[in-house]
Amino acid sequence: MKNLDHTRMTSRRLSYILQQQVHLYTPEANKLRDEIDLYVEAERQIEGEMARRKIRA
């Protein structure tokens, strides 16, 4: 459970940092936005898994 919490917070922090530092219209920014979307989707899955484990626990 701690690993899931740590991963979720890390992905959220990384997403925030990347959004703050990258210009919105460069090709690199587009690539990073795609990566951020992957992190956000992973975060949703992690939160769903955490919720599922809490229900079973």
Judge whether 7 and 45 are in contact, CB under 8 Å. no
Q: The domain containing residue 41 runs over which residues?
A: 2-56
Number of separate domains in the chain: 1
**Can you give the pLDDT at residue 22?**
60
pTM assigned to the model:
0.49
Q: What is the mean pLDDT of each run of 10 residues along the chain (57 residues)?
A: 70 74 70 85 89 79
Q: How many Cα atoms are found within 13 Å in the side-chain-facing hemisphere of 19?
A: 10
By CB neighbour count within 10 A (0-12 exposed, 13-18 middle, 19+ buried), where does 4 fall?
middle
- Which long-range contacts link 22-26 to residues 24+ away (Cβ below 8 Å)? none
Sorted by sequence, the CB contacts under 8 Å of residue 47 that are 6+ apart come out as 8
